[in-house]
Structure 1
Amino acid sequence: MPHELPPGQPWPIGFAATCLRATLYILFVAALAQGAYYEALHFHEVRFSERGFTELAQSALLLTASALLLYTRQVLKVLPTLTLLMFAFVFSSLIREQDAFLDHYVFDGAWQMLVTLVIVPTLYLVIRARRRFLAEFAAYANSFSFGLFAAGVLTTYVFSRLYGRSAFWEAVLQEHYARTFKDAAEEVVELFGYALILIAVIELTLLARRWHLARRAG
């Protein structure tokens, strides 16, 4: 795998292309919100459970993001150390979303073991190539993709956890409290966070493709 960094200024994105992508992302997020609405409206037996639309959509978003990161690293060969770390993070989140299935059909604690098998070797490789990683991060940090990825992480792993606390919803609903409110709030916000992460990875893949073409043209 080549080790040169991407060119400093990849080919710019036109205004029309930006508007098209923004429109597609708006429609995508709206479709996810509508899916969660239909789940709450029509699928009472499974809503906001492991077999409901929201949980399945979360897994689909993480799986797609993982595949795109592998494509960026293995095919486009851009930012290989950075994309390896991002892949480990996203793929570990995908494994974590299957915790109930793994605990039931494999063994209790299976997801923790699988996440460890992904994270530990990845951290070893990244730390070993830390200078390379820091150079790649500097090339990526000022991109639109990085901002979206950071927003997705904050939404999913910070805000959704705090917003979905039972104590918060007990304070809001008081005697009308039901766990469904808490589950819906946490899972739907988490779904939006994963959507941001996927959009960030799509933007990274498109950026990497422009870097890849610019490198070949140069």
Structure 2
Amino acid sequence: MPKISPDRISFRATCLRALAYLLIIAALMEGVMQEAQQFVDVRFSESGFTELTQSFLLLLATGLALSVRVWQRQLPNVALLLVGLLGASFIREQDAWLDTYVFDGAWQTLVTLLVLPVLFVVIRHRRAFVAELESITGTFSFGLFAAGFLTTYAFSRLYGRSELWQAILGDHYLRIIKDAAEEVTELFGYTLLLFAMLELVLLVRRRLAAER
């Protein structure tokens, strides 16, 4: 009987994942709906459900990436770069709080202190990094990560441009509509990144089990 690759996911597992991820997305969007309807004073602000949830999702995703490197000791260079990217995004989401209660420009300083050492290590071990990356490019985790990355760092930025919404709404333009469009799209992107890290953890566990 041919050995099944640990990178493959069974049909049953795929359906269960799809259902779980759908329920999570539905729950998040219900939270957005409640924010829009009941929390008018803080909706789509730093204190609103959407932005707080973004930070929570990033924190979880960063912790999962860190677990792959530290506890499961797999994909050390790829996992380190993921920790740097997700951790920097988490710090960036705290910019208003850091600028107010620490010092102006604190988030830039913290991001620099995190990202520069990570890039140094990854570049130093670039051949191992490329080999690790090539080993996961065909996996579900990588596909989710690519979708989340493009949604968060490309599409949401372009979709949330003031010029676009001014052109769409004309004289009826309201800043809150632009903010809602950008922040909710960003929330979805961060959700995909969290799913990607969950799938990466599961992938590593399957690979470790297959080696035993």
**Structure 2: 5+ residue runs without aligned partners?**
none
Which of residues 192, 201, 213 in structure 1 aligns to 2:209? 213
Paired residues of 2:7 and 2:139 also in contact (CA < 8 A): no
Shift of 1:9: 3.1
Structure 1 residue 83, shift from structure 2 partner: 0.4
- Residue 77 of structure 2 is aligned to residue 98 of structure 1: no
**Which residue does 2:43 correspond to in 1?**
47
TM-score (norm 2): 0.96
Shift of residue 32, structure 1, vs aligned partner: 1.0
Structure 1 segments (4+ residues) deviating >6 Å: none
Pick from 49, 58, 65 the counterpart of residue 61 of structure 2.
65
- Note the C-alpha offset of 1:206: 0.4
Percent identity among equivalent residues? 58
State how far apart, in whole Å, the 2-side matches of 1:191 and 1:82 are. Answer: 23
Task: Give aligned pairs, total.
Answer: 209
Post-superposition shift, 1:13? Answer: 2.7
Retained in 2: the 8 A contact 1:152–1:194? yes
Which among 115, 118, 121 is matched to residue 122 of structure 1? Answer: 118
- In 2, Cα distance between the equivalents of 1:211 and 1:131? 21
Q: Is the 8 A contact 1:11 1:214 kept in 2?
A: no
| Corresponding residue of 1:180 | 176
With CA pairs under 8 Å and 6+ residues apart, which has the higher RCO, 1 or 2? 1
1:133 aligned to 129, 133, 144, which one? 129
Contact 1:70 1:87 in 2 (8 A): yes
Structure 2 counterpart SS, 1:38: helix
Aligned-pair Cα RMSD in Å: 1.2
Would the alpha carbon gap of residues 106 and 160 (structure 1) be closer, same or farther in structure 2, given more than 3 Å must change? same
What is the rounded CA distance, in whole Å, between the counterparts of 1:185 and 1:19 in structure 2?
A: 29
- Consecutive unaligned residues in structure 1, runs of 5 or more: 1-7
